[in-house]
Chains A and B, each alone.
Chain A
Amino acid sequence: MHIFGLFITGYQVAFVAVAGLTVLAAVGVVLVPNILRAALCLGVMLMGVAGLYALMNAPFLAVVQVMIYVGAITTMIILAVFLSNRVMKIGFFQAVYNPLLAAAAAGVMFLFLLVTVANSVWVQGIVEKTPATKDVGVQSVATALLQPYVFPFELASVVLLAVLIGAVVIAKEDTADES
């Protein structure tokens, strides 16, 4: 339909709404003083990202995003907050000790991302103002992971294994200290 002389599709409206919600929640994560509320904002933000995946016709990525990031990671963060009782009792203050340095670091990161995004091939889909027509199914994800990208995929799992073993080692040392 036409609004203010611009041609706007329903898809664009939905995209802007979900993206706006995601950005708002992300701002909330940084600015909300209460740490549990900030964690909840993080949950909403991650749901927003899942919504964006769904809008881009990647349903598998969207549900996996919800399962891993919203269901597991956010819960883990909240559990960690529970364990650190001190943080929970005192109103958590998200201080910025050096605003100039923080702004500079964020600016560099933003520029880096902007350059990467602008130079990528997949920017074409956005230019055409339509969702990707081909449904990115489970099988194409599996083929991509296990054929051209099998090395980085396996490398990621080795890193995760190292983290797991590290966690076990740290936990073991703690029990040894108690006894």
Chain B
Amino acid sequence: MELDLLIKLGLELGKIVVIAIVVLIFMMVAVLYMVLKLRWVIARIQSRLGPNRTGPWGVLQTAADALKLFQKEDIIPCGADKWLFTIAPAIVFIPAYLVYVVVPFGSGLTAQSLNVGIIYLSAISSISVIGIIVAGWASNNKWSLLGAFRGASQLIAYEVPTILAMIIPVLITGSLDLNEIVSSQGGGIWHWNLFHLSGWPMLPLAFLMLIIAGLAEINVAPFDIMEAESELVAGFNTEYSGMKFALFFLAEFAESFTLSAIVVTLFLGGYQPPLHILGGQLTGLAFSAVSLFWFMFKCWLMVLFIMWVRSTLPRVRVDQLMNLSWKALIPAGLVNLLLTGAYVVFWMPK
């Protein structure tokens, strides 16, 4: 009886460990490819060649870079707070990894489906700002501290519009569970929240807000004022090298994939195929595989879109960034919330 229980517990733990490792490997591989793709895309947009020497077409470039990072000396500046300096990269990296738990990669392909999935996502990703602040402060360097300070005010300012934008599809669907939000968008491209124009015309506004605020939340150009290399050297991670720097780097790219996954899940139908005949008639394992393909395809389009934005737009100033959030995005988000709430209560067909 006791042995039975222990075996069950062991199996359960084993399952959790396997899922954690699979997610981690997926994250590493995705980031390796995203870094390469980013350098290719930016090179194309700036009429350069980009990495093309290491391996065929340069595909081994980021693997080589990663190898170089592992070999680098792990430097802790003598004025730094050793403990905080060491744990800061972990505080940034762990939330970026934990959010993958609830992402619905395909039909039945969620590590753990939570009925509060969307709040879990925004709650967990809000932790990483503490890591950024700690990293900047512990480095004992004025560029790092300035970067951390900017980062804190930026992330606080943009968390509110992100959540306001994410609430809109939640209100329309009536569920916080990401899987339910996706399954409510099945049946073709005109059922996706973004293109569901016969339903509620304010959804595209929420989509736009989520992309703008999300780009600021994940700290990429044009909103990368906390790293701003022309002003702050490298911002909060100026003093970092080797593995610790690699963790910051990994978290940043993992977050940009997460943003794509959130946008795709909430507005672009998640893992649903764009037309019913493109996989909607399948069931079971076959549909899981097809839906995984569609989810990845849409996410990569979103990732490419983010790369396009970050390679073409100039960096905003600190005050412009603050004004955009507090004076434009948050009021628009509140009005949108009010209107959508009224629509759901009074007019929405049940």
**A interface residues, Cβ below 8 angstroms from B:** 1-2, 10, 34, 36-37, 40, 43, 59-60, 63-64, 66-67, 70-72, 74-76, 78-79, 82, 88, 135, 137-138
Contact = CB atoms under 8 A, between A and B. Distances in A.
Q: Top 4 closest A-B pairs, CB basis? A: A71-B126, A67-B123, A66-B123, A63-B123
Interface of B: 2, 5-6, 9, 81, 83-84, 114-116, 119-120, 122-124, 126-127, 129-130, 133-134, 137-138, 145, 148-149, 152-153, 155-156, 159, 176
A66 B115 contact: no
B152 A59 contact: no
Contact of A72 (B9, B148, B153, B159): B159
Given A1-B2, A40-B84, A60 B152 contact: no
B5 A66 contact: no
Contacts of B145: 82
Among B81, B124, B130, max chain A CB count under 10 A is at: B130
A79 B153 contact: yes
A155 to B, nearest CB: 21
Contacts of A63: 116, 119-120, 123
B176 A138 contact: yes
A143 B148 CA distance: 40
Contact of A70 (B2, B116, B126): B126
B116 A60 contact: yes
A40 B134 contact: yes
Nearest to A43: B130
18 contacts: A1-B5, A34-B81, A36-B84, A40-B130, A40-B134, A43-B130, A63-B119, A63-B123, A70-B127, A71-B129, A75-B133, A75-B155, A79-B133, A79-B152, A82-B137, A82-B148, A82-B152, A138-B176
Contacts of B116: 59-60, 63, 138
A82 B84 CA distance: 16
B159 A74 contact: no
A88 B138 CA distance: 11
Contacts of B130: 40, 43, 70, 74-75, 78
A40 B91 CA distance: 10
Contacts of B129: 71, 75
Contacts of A74: 130
Nearest to A74: B130
A88 B84 CA distance: 14
Given A36-B137, A79-B153, A72 B126 contact: yes
A67 B126 contact: yes
A76 B153 CA distance: 9
Contacts of A37: 83-84
A137 B115 contact: yes
A40 B156 CA distance: 17
A10 B83 CA distance: 33
Nearest to B160: A72
A72 B5 CA distance: 41
A19 to B, nearest CB: 21
A43 B153 CA distance: 18
Nearest to B6: A1
A82 B156 CA distance: 15
Contacts of B138: 36
Given A37-B83, A82-B152, 19 more contacts: A1-B5, A34-B81, A36-B138, A40-B84, A40-B134, A43-B130, A59-B115, A60-B119, A63-B119, A63-B120, A66-B124, A70-B123, A72-B156, A75-B130, A75-B152, A75-B156, A79-B153, A82-B133, A82-B148
B9 A67 contact: no
B170 to A, nearest CB: 10
B156 A76 contact: yes
B119 A64 contact: yes
B161 to A, nearest CB: 14
B114 A82 contact: no
Contacts of B126: 66-67, 70-72, 75
Contacts of A135: 115
A1 B123 CA distance: 35
Contacts of B137: 36, 82, 88
Contacts of B119: 60, 63-64, 67
B159 A71 contact: yes
Nearest to B155: A75
A138 B155 CA distance: 26
Given A36-B84, A75-B156, A66 B114 contact: no
A6 to B, nearest CB: 14
Contacts of B133: 75, 78-79, 82
Nearest to B125: A71
A37 to B, nearest CB: 7
A64 to B, nearest CB: 7
